[in-house]
Structures are given as C-alpha cells and as structure tokens.
Structure 1
Amino acid sequence: MLFGLHWNTTGGTLAFVWSILPILLIGLKVTVEATVLGFLLALVLGLIFALLQSVKLRIISWPFRFVVEFLRDTPLLVQLFFLFYVLPGFGISLPAFLIGTLALGAQYSAYCAEVYRGGIEAVEHGQWEAAQALNLSRWTTYKDIILPQAIPRIIPSLGTYLVSMIKDAPLLSAISVLDMLAAANIIGGQTYDYLIPLSMVGGLFLITTLIVSYLVNRLDRWLPKSGIPLK
C-alpha cells in the first residue's frame, strides 16, 4: 500500500501494471512539482547572479562568481545531504520537499546564470552605446533593450537544463521525498519485482521529457530571434 492505494500481484502482469500506474503517476506529480518550482527559482536566481557578476565593482561581482562556481562544481547530492542533515544542527529544519526544491533551484541557477551571461554578451555592443546615448539607466537598458533581445537566443539552452533537471529530480528520493522513483523502489522491494515498476518509471520519464522538449522547441520557434516586442 502506497499513497493510500493498493497494487494487484495476483492478476497477472497487466493487472499489476494497471494497479501501480496510479501510484507512479502520483509520484510523477511530485517530480513535476519539484522540477517546476526548482526551475522557476533557477531562472530568477540565475538572472540575478548573471547581472551581479557583470557589475564592474569586484567587491560585488567576485563573491557572486564564487557562489556560481561553487554551485556548479559541487554535486547536487552533496548539496541535498548538506541541507537535509546539516541545517537541523543549526536549528533550521525544513520539509524534505522544500529542501529538494531549493537544492535543485540553487544548483541550476548557476547553469542558468552562465546561459544568461552568454545571451547578454551576444547582444550587439551598439545596443549598449545607443542606450547610453539616450541617457537610459542601466536597469532600463537591461529591462527594455538587452534582455528582450537575449532571452529568445537562450531558450534552447534553458530548455536543455529544464530536461536535465527533470532527470535529476529522482535524487530527491535520497532525502525521503516520495517521488516516482522512490515509489517504484518501494513497490519493487515489497513485490520482489523491480523490472516492471522501474521500466514504467523510465517510460514515464521519457514521455515527460519528450513533451517538455517539444514545448521548448515550439516556444523557440515562436519567439522572434530579433527580440521580444516591448509593446
């Protein structure tokens, strides 16, 4: 019994598949929720990191460059274990799902920061010069000129990291988040049949990533490469 549901081990393979499918779909919902929330966090943090790294004052830019390199160069699993097992020692106890979401978002924010930076640097330097000639503030230049041109160019890279995040989400089961993979392992441990539940998990991940890749490709084709219209 899992998520209040039972599985059928006496009616043959097909009956077993249909009995555990609702359980795995509930686990998939947990995986998708963690991925979506983590990716939204990564998009926001990544943009902040990219902008702060571009500040000319080294006392501001260097610490954020270190943070980005630290997040990129340390394994996600280590970060998960640190947040889950070490933070309670300092009196900070958070739900496992929240910790997993924060860890996913923090790790991928470093990757997104580099994607943003590459997109911003790809905008023609003349755009900056034109903004300066119009006496626009740096914030207005980024908001109304640079980012609308940079974002369409980085959609494919961001989509790639979104797919990677979906495939990394099962790591959250290491800190007791009951996602799809954790559910499959529990079913396999109790029925002594790992082949069917793990195969179904692989199939559900494949379907999910194919759908996400399709949507990202559609978005990439829809957005004009010259930039997002401001009005």
Structure 2
Amino acid sequence: MNFDWNYAREVAPDLLTTGLKVTLQATAGGAVLAFVLGLVLALLLRVDSRWVRLPTRTFIEVIRSTPLVAQLFLLYYALPTFSRDVLGTQITLSALTAGIIGLGVHYACYTAEVYRAGIDGVPPGQWEASIALNLPRVRTWTDVILPQAIRRVLPPLGNYLIAIFKESPQLTLITVVDVVGLAQNMGSTNFKVVEPLTIAGLFFLIIAIPSSILVRRLERRLAQ
C-alpha cells in the first residue's frame, strides 16, 4: 500500500484546526476538573467523620475499578433515561461535555491519591508550627500545607495531564469528533484510512513527547 503524501497534506489542516482543537478542549477541560475535584476528594478523605470518609473512599474505588469507556457510556447514553425515570427531569449532556466530565471524574480519583501523598509528605513540624502560632485551620491549609504539598505533586499531575491527552480518543465512542474521530470519518468517506490516522498519530507524538520531557525536567528541578 502506497502512502498518498498529497492526500496527507490535504487533510492535515482540517485535522489540525478542527480535530486537534476538540482534543485539546477535552484534555484541558478534563484536566482542570480532575485536578480540582481530586484535591476536594483528597481533603474529604482527611475529614474526621467516617460518614464523609467512607462514601468518598467508596466513590474513588468504584470509579478506579471500572473502565473509562463504561463511565462515558453511562454519562452520555444512560444518564438521560435514568434521570427521566428517577428524577422526573431528563438530563442530557452534549458529547463533549459528557467526555470532559467522564475524563475529569475518572482521573480525579487518581489525582486524589497524588494529593494525599503530597499532603502526607509535608513535614510534621509544619503542622506543629501552625498550631504553636495559633493559626486558624483554614490559614494552616491555604498558607502552609497546600503550597508545600502542591509543589510536590506537580510532576505527577503533569504525567496525568499527558495521560488524559492520550485517553481523549476514547471520546469518539460517544460521538465526539476529535482528531482521531475526524481521521476515521475522513477514512470512511474517502476510503483512505492510513493517511489521516497517521497524521493524527503524529500530532499526538508532537505534543506528548515534548510534554513528557518538560515534566521530567520539572521533576528533576523540584527534587533539587
């Protein structure tokens, strides 16, 4: 099979400006949700009440123990029917919104453990100093603990950002037309699959490899 370079050059602009744009939107939205919700879950796991900790831990384990694809299908296909039958109001999400929520919630359950490790890594003396200074609990968290913890977890969060980017093609299963979905559509329309999928794969390499290098450099710098 000969690779049609002319066709590859023809489809590359659409894959870049249309398909890759959707991929980056899904990645950015999913990452923001994952990082914010992950921090919330990590803090809930430290609440004294077991009535808060137990449901939070159960939620995390359920999400981590089920595949992302199943969660996407539930959000996009099952949620409208479930909400109509149970709540009396049909909740319908667009494909991209469902994809962002699915990616965000799924990876929040992983970033929660990253935040937990970062918080546990803060030296006990920092807690003791805050108590000795009679700092309010909120200020202890916002001014002392979280700044140190977040500095420790930046490299792992960077790795999860790359993971979300690489997982985003799964959104094509719920009709999101990202760069891979657009490449598949082009292939089925023009009966040339290799060229658009190759271009889509190159876009992932061009973004993922430099991002991985930057994360490793950040990790080495913070470790100094």
Deviation at 1:214, TM superposition (A): 3.7
Map 1:1-231 onto structure 2 (within 5 A). 13-25=4-16, 26-89=18-81, 90=83, 91-217=90-216, 219-220=218-219
Alpha-carbon distance in 2 for matches of 1:71, 1:209: 25
Which amino acid in 2 is paired with 1:155? Answer: L
Q: Which runs of 5+ in 2 are unaligned?
A: 84-89
Deviation by residue 1:91-126 (Cα, 9 ceiling, x = unmatched)? 111111101001100001111100000000011111
Residue 134 of structure 2 aligns to a residue whose secondary structure is: coil
- The count of residues paired between Structure 1 and Structure 2 equals 214
Q: Which runs of 5+ in 1 are unaligned?
A: 1-11, 227-231
Alpha-carbon distance in 1 for matches of 2:57, 2:131: 26
Q: Is the 8 A contact 2:118 2:150 kept in 1?
A: yes
Deviation at 1:221, TM superposition (A): 5.7
Alpha-carbon distance in 1 for matches of 2:223, 2:47: 26
In structure 1, what is the equivalent of residue 86 of structure 2?
A: none
Deviation at 1:225, TM superposition (A): 5.7
Residue 126 of structure 1 aligns to a residue whose secondary structure is: helix
Q: Is the 8 A contact 1:28 1:179 kept in 2?
A: yes
Alpha-carbon distance in 2 for matches of 1:59, 1:133: 30
Residue 138 of structure 2 aligns to a residue whose secondary structure is: helix
After TM superposition, the structure 1 stretch with the greater mean CA deviation from structure 2, 149-158 or 95-104, is 149-158
Question: Which has the bigger relative contact order, CA under 8 A and spacing at least 6?
Answer: 2
TM-score normalised by the chain length of structure 2: 0.90
Root-mean-square deviation over aligned CA pairs: 1.7
Residue 149 of structure 2 aligns to a residue whose secondary structure is: helix
Alpha-carbon distance in 1 for matches of 2:13, 2:210: 20
Alpha-carbon distance in 2 for matches of 1:210, 1:163: 9
Q: Is the 8 A contact 1:152 1:220 kept in 2?
A: no
Alpha-carbon distance in 2 for matches of 1:144, 1:129: 14
Structure 1 runs (4+) deviating above 6 angstroms are none
Deviation at 1:218, TM superposition (A): 5.1
